[in-house]
Amino acid sequence: MLTYITLRARPDLKDAAASWFHSKWRVPKSAYLACMDAYISGETEYGWYLCLDGEKIVGGLGVIENDFHDRPDLAPNVCAVFTEESHRNRGVAGALLNMAVEDLRAHGVSPVYLVTDHAGFYERYGWEFLCMVQGDGEPDMTRMYIHR
């Protein structure tokens, strides 16, 4: 059975979550831990959201100020969206995206942005293409979406 949680509700999963995100995106584990600590402590409402199959993390995403692009005015950003291949096409990412948007809205944070190379996926969940942005150290522009 799949369950969807915030990391604030399950701070005991912080280390496992930071390791899991690091294994998917190769961003230093310490960077994830710093953002997660700020969220768990209530320093920020930029949260971390997980999908668990039993106690195993099978999907997740976070919210940070800027997801490594040249438009700091477009904040906050959903980041690190990932679903394990074994759990894809089951609505995991969509449920996590909706959970994050609603949680942020409940805390007065809206709109929310995200950068991606995918076209067609995020639109299914109420995201709209906004503009192209330059990723840090990236040769090509990438798509910026907004959820209002």
Q: List the one residue out of 102, 83, 106, 103 whose CA is nearest residue 93.
A: 83
Residues 47-58 have pLDDT tens digits of 999 999 999 999
pLDDT of residue 126: 96
Count how many Cα atoms sit within 13 Å of the Cα of residue 113 in the half-sphere of its side chain: 21
Q: Distance between alpha carbon 63 and the CA centroid of its chain, in Å?
A: 5
Q: Kindly report which listed range (5-9, 13-17, 25-29, 136-140) carries the lowest average pLDDT score.
A: 136-140
pLDDT of residue 8: 97
Per-domain boundaries in the chain: 2-109
pLDDT of residue 71: 96
3-state SS, residue 40: helix
Cα torsion angle, 75, 76, 82, 87, sign:
negative
3-state SS, residue 34: helix
What's the predicted TM-score (pTM) here?
Answer: 0.95
Residues 73-113 have pLDDT tens digits of 999 999 999 999 999 999 999 999 999 999 999 999 999 99
What is 2-109's CATH number? 3.40.630.30
> How far apart are alpha carbons 113 and 63 in whole angstroms?
9
Confidence class for position 141, pLDDT limits 50, 70, 90: very high
